[in-house]
Amino acid sequence: MKEYERKQLLERVGREAATIGADIPREIEVQGETLELQQFVFEIKRRDTVPADQRERVDEAKRNLRRERNERLELIEDGVVSYERGEELANSVIGIDRALDALEQLEPADIESEAARQEAADQKRWMNFLQQALGHDDDGSPRRGSL
């Protein structure tokens, strides 16, 4: 691969909008195993949240995808492959990025901790409101000139 071709492929992979319109690969070989990537992402994404029993599986998939992405990117960076193979690698890296983006957008389905966090935030807002309404400083002492 020529130097300008390598730079062109790396620039394409590094573009911020590279994943827009990109397809998630149907299948991908990750760490020596074939993964039905498209099906996996759609199965998890359909739920809008990551169920507790699937969280470890999703985290492991994300780690493996990141590792595979880096390995493929290194092959392009090193320039040890043909331009055609480099193009295939660049397309697969973009597809992996698209899959990772989809998986990263999902929230864990830990409703109890989210509810507790929301309640604590509500209580803090309420206390701040009361302190302001009563004319107290942040430390709870009355402001000068009030009460």
pLDDT (tens digit per residue) in 62-106 = 899 999 999 999 999 998 899 999 999 999 999 999 998 888 877
Do 45 and 17 share a structural domain?
yes
Do 57 and 105 share a structural domain?
yes
Do 45 and 33 share a structural domain?
yes
Share of the chain above pLDDT 90, in %: 24
Do 76 and 43 share a structural domain?
yes
Do 62 and 121 share a structural domain?
no
Do 40 and 89 share a structural domain?
yes
Q: Across-strand partners of 107? A: 49
Note the helical H segments in 23-82. 37-45, 55-78
Do 121 and 87 share a structural domain?
no
Would the pTM count as exceeding 0.75?
no
Do 144 and 95 share a structural domain?
no
Do 120 and 58 share a structural domain?
no
Do 21 and 56 share a structural domain?
yes
Total domains in the fold of the chain: 2
**Separation CA 81–CA 7 (nearest Å):** 13
With H, G, I as helix, E, B as strand and everything else as coil, classify residue 71. helix
Do 41 and 27 share a structural domain?
yes
3-state helix, strand, coil split of the chain in percent (to 5) is 60, 10, 30
Residue 29 is inside which H or E element, if any? strand 28-30
Tell me phi and psi for residue 142, to 5 degrees. -65, 145
Do 21 and 55 share a structural domain?
yes
Residues spanned by the domain of 121 = 111-147
Q: Please indicate whether residue 49 or residue 141 has the higher confidence score (pLDDT).
A: 49
Cα distances from 45 to residues 3, 28, 49, 91, in angstroms, run 39, 18, 7, 22
